[in-house]
Structure 1
């Protein structure tokens, strides 16, 4: 395993741990630490389209709102269960992260898991890994398919 791969794995291991903790207690989550995983500017793509933005002071609060919504939908676990890292050059890597989102559906107590794969692009300028782009599946549709939205 090369240095970039090791740093990317460490970044996502920490990101997964913090994401799961934020799901369990969004009001006290360390969203500043979660936000620190991202570059100052980023882009995301999903079936809904492409968005881009700057990591401004409101970003941690936006992350907290997301975890509050996951918790309200019945989320009980949100973790990366598998990582694949491909070094692209001396400063960039692509990370395939297999996430699992466990839930207990609020309306009837049914339990389930939504499994999905996100692709992340990570830059190592300055020596520290930062997520600058991601590609996600249709999260809203998956939530509907599981009766959570």
Structure 2
């Protein structure tokens, strides 16, 4: 399952880059997610479904990333912790680069821990745990 999960995140990274460029198909973007998901951060816990509302939220999220100057989002590393034969946690280390007018670019490293399930076909993300993105951006003078 390790190789398939790594391929999932390579694809996720490519889709993220296309979305930052304003060239994403939201059906393709949301295809990496399971039919339902859970997300946890210091802001609280959210549950959702992989539906039109998710597509709209993803479009708005990518538009916000572009608006605050996000130039690049790339994966530095993926470490996989198996749970059982169908589930794992993918610890993904990301690097983001932000452009700021009249200043040098800002690089921010952060980690997100994704819950992944593989039943039939490709693995799917059904949850994630992340830090306080807004606080990190604020500390770096972004947003």
TM-score by length of 2: 0.94
For 2:85 and 2:121, the matched residues in 1 are separated by 11
SS state at 1:148 partner: coil
Instruction: Deviation per CA, 1:1-31: give whole Å up to 9, x if none.
Output: xxx1111000000001110121122xx3122
Give the corresponding residue for 2:20.
Answer: 23
Q: Give the Å deviation of 1:121.
A: 0.7
Does residue 100 (structure 1) correspond to residue 95 (structure 2)? The answer is: yes
Q: How does 1:126-141 map to 2 (within 5 A)?
A: 126-141=120-135
Could you list the runs of 4 or more consecutive aligned residues of structure 1 that deviate by over 4 angstroms after TM superposition?
Answer: none
- Alignment partner of 1:37 is 2:36: no
Aligned position for 1:74? 69
Match of 1:124 in 2: 118
Q: Which runs of 5+ in 1 are unaligned?
A: none
- Determine the structure 1 residue equivalent to 2:58: 63
Tell me the residue number matched to 1:87.
Answer: 82
Return the structure number with greater strand share.
2
RMSD: 1.2
* Deviation digits for residues 22-62 of structure 1 (CA, Å, limit 9, x no counterpart): 1122xx31221110111111000001111101111222221
Q: Could you list the runs of 5+ residues in structure 2 that have no partner in the other structure?
A: none
Count the aligned residue pairs: 143
Asked if structure 2 preserves the Cα contact closer than 8 Å seen for 1:76 and 1:101, the reply is yes
Does the 8 Å CA contact 1:5/1:86 hold for their aligned counterparts? no
